[in-house]
Amino acid sequence: MGTARLYAAVAVGGFRRYATYRTATAAGVFTNTVFGLILAYIFIALWDEKPHLGGYDQAQALTYVWLGQALLMTVAVLGGGFEEELIERIRTGDIAIDLYRPADLQLWWLAQDAGRALFHLLGRGVVPLAFGALVFDLALPADLLTWLAFLVAILLGVVVSFAIRFLVALSAFWLLDGAGAAQLAGIAGFFCSGLLLPLNVFPGALGEVVRALPWSSLIQAPVDVLLGTADPLSTYAFQAAWAVGLLAAGRLMQSVATRRVVVQGG
Residue ranges binding other proteins (CB under 8 A): 21-24, 26-28, 30-31, 34-35, 37-38, 41-42, 44-46, 49-50, 53, 177, 179-180, 183-184, 186-187, 190-191, 196-197, 201-203
The CB-of-41 to other proteins minimum distance in angstroms stands at 5
176 CB contacts (<8 Å, ≥6 apart)?
91
The residue (of 111 and 192) whose beta carbon lies closer to other proteins is 192
The residue (of 33 and 217) whose beta carbon lies closer to other proteins is 33
The residue (of 44 and 59) whose beta carbon lies closer to other proteins is 44
Helix 126-135 and helix 58-71, axial crossing angle in degrees, nearest 10: 160
The CB-of-249 to other proteins minimum distance in angstroms stands at 23
Distance CA 257, CA 209 (A): 30
The CB-of-204 to other proteins minimum distance in angstroms stands at 9
The residue (of 23 and 264) whose beta carbon lies closer to other proteins is 23
The residue (of 11 and 77) whose beta carbon lies closer to other proteins is 77
Distance CA 76, CA 47 (A): 28
Helix 2-19 and helix 22-49, axial crossing angle in degrees, nearest 10: 80
The CB-of-93 to other proteins minimum distance in angstroms stands at 20
The CB-of-29 to other proteins minimum distance in angstroms stands at 9
Residues 90 and 142: beta-carbon distance below 8 Å:
no
The residue (of 6 and 196) whose beta carbon lies closer to other proteins is 196
The CB-of-7 to other proteins minimum distance in angstroms stands at 29
Residues 200 and 121: beta-carbon distance below 8 Å:
no
